[in-house]
Structure 1
Amino acid sequence: MEIPTYEEDENSEEDLNNQQSFNVTDSQDEEGNQHEESTSTTDEETESTSTTDEETESTSTTDEETESSSTTDEETESTSTTDEETESTSTTDEETESTSTTDEETDQQKTDSERVCKKYGISFHQLSQVKILMRTHTENKPYSCKECDKGFSRISNLKRHMRIHTGEKPFSCKECEKSFRDVLHLNTHMRIHTEEKPFSCKECKKYFSFLSHLKIHMRTHTGEKPFTCKYCDKCYSYSSHLNTHMRIHTGERHFSCKYCGKCIRDEYDLKIHMRIHTGEGPFSCKYCDKCYSYSSHLKTHMRTHTGEKPFSCKKCKKSFHDGSNLKSHMIIHTGEKPFSCKECDKSFSFLSNFKRHMKSHI
């Protein structure tokens, strides 16, 4: 029987050790591989988890973005709604302003219409002035005089009227110290001193200091004769002419000539009559320097220079310088004999023939 040597045992042991070492190594390698694989798997899981986290984060981010976008949309919608409300409010304000402007214009037009006199169409700055004027149309006279019960539409008119009863004349002329009850009469009076003539005739351009004088003058152009004699219905343009005419019917003669004692009906005629005694001839001819006491005589005389013959006979068409010559001529056609002799009852057509006849009785 052979006994194994040491060497074989040693080799066997080394082999065994090697085999064990190899097995350990393999086991370790397997464990390492398993650990690496497990680690790898863990890394993969970790990576997958990281990816999931990233996806989750991305999803969260997307959700946030979606939410933010939704919020933005809501804000945009809210902003749009606010803009629409603002625009609507602005439109409402504009409509309100337009309505207010229309109301103001309506009120202004109403106020303007109230400041116009409905009867004459005169505009005033103040409504109170229109109301005062309207009293004159409606005969509303709330202010009454305690002395005579006369009514007035303005208190200022009543105060001025009261001066008639009190005799007060607070406005005095500095030129002649004449006094007046109101300043209007004083201003009118002052034109006498200043010779101001603010009123002019449109027909002949003649100027007047007083409106009343212009109105009277206009009757010469219109031919108006508002003053009528109650005895003979004769009409006159001026009241003074009517008064003078009335003295023919009444026989009244207030004025007498101091030279011959002749009674004259009015002062104007007396002044003209006085020229007979004084020889005054204020009217002179510019062609021959002849003077006349009456303007009518000068006008008749001027026709001898101009050759004008405005008075024509309707029977024979003969013309004359003045109306008296025409009247004398008409007797030839009518056969009238207005001049009668009281001694022999003989009649004559012309005054000159009558005078010559009267000498035959002397």
Structure 2
Amino acid sequence: MRLPFIGLLLFASTAVAQVPTVTFSSASTSTTGLTITVPKSDCGIPRRFSFTRSGTPCEESLYLYVTTGSCGTRPIAGDLTLATYGPSDTTASGNLSFSVEDLLSARNSTSDAGAAMTCANLTTEMTFNLCAAARRTDSTGFNCQTTYSSVGTPAYVVKYDPAPPATPTIAKVIARDSALSVQVDGAETDSTVVVEAAAVATSDAGTDGDAGTEDAGTDADAGTDGGQGLVGALAVEGTTGPVTRVTKAAGEGNVVISGLTNGVTYRIQATIIDKAGNESTQSAPAEGTPVKSSGLFDAYKDAGGEESGGCAATGGGIAGGAVLAALGIWLSSRRKVS
């Protein structure tokens, strides 16, 4: 009686060991977590994955495919089948390659998919799931399940994002010493803010003045690229080059354009580049004029202080009062242009 029982255990063990599993991996530089974001400009560029597998499917094939639906069924019309492995196929690993253009073509092959979708005419976001599906044995280890199960991990998603961000607005321009601090509204999370500035071509470059009274965000210099020549919407009559272009991650405060000339009025426009690489149209233009920020010693002299050292320069009376007055003026000036 013992031998048949042992044979039964070995048979069941062998059946359970054949449960298939597939592990995907991707080296795409556009991957955030398990989501690969594809802009419209990259619609036809293949996305590459690799996979490893173990076990064998029960009776029918193991399918690797991409779908807009959920994983866990065999591929249906409109899905893109990437590979098929029968129960006797021992392939342990391989590579997969497909583009969003391929995915759209597969959907267009179905009679009920509606109007054909192409890279040129699809303007809304679309997500695709990378799947592996097979039939498994049931809990007894002997019989095949009648339905398919998802056997692939991790759950990679290809997100096609052809839509540009909404046009941003320049909410405020704050004058600083040789710089302008620009508050840009309308940037999406994980996007990049781009601000361009070009000097206004006038016979009178303007006078030192304050373009704003308070800062609406945290100022941090994002770096300045100059000498590019006129580009974009700033290349219009009324401005003179070069265009200064500054980029900064959204949510990190105002964009600071440095290296500007005090007293010169600059025309400014902003765009947004989203995570997929799509760029918005440019904002309505705004203008600002950097102003000189006097140091403490300049304010002290303007208040009647002495240039030479000694007791007269730091003592009480008129000189001491001049120092206090100069300090107040200087601090007020610093608050105004920060």
TM bucket, shorter chain: under 0.3
Greater per-residue strand proportion: 2
Q: Which has the higher contact order (CA 8 A, sep 6+)?
A: 2
TM-score, with length taken from structure 1? 0.20
Structure number with larger C-alpha Rg: 1
TM-score, with length taken from structure 2? 0.21
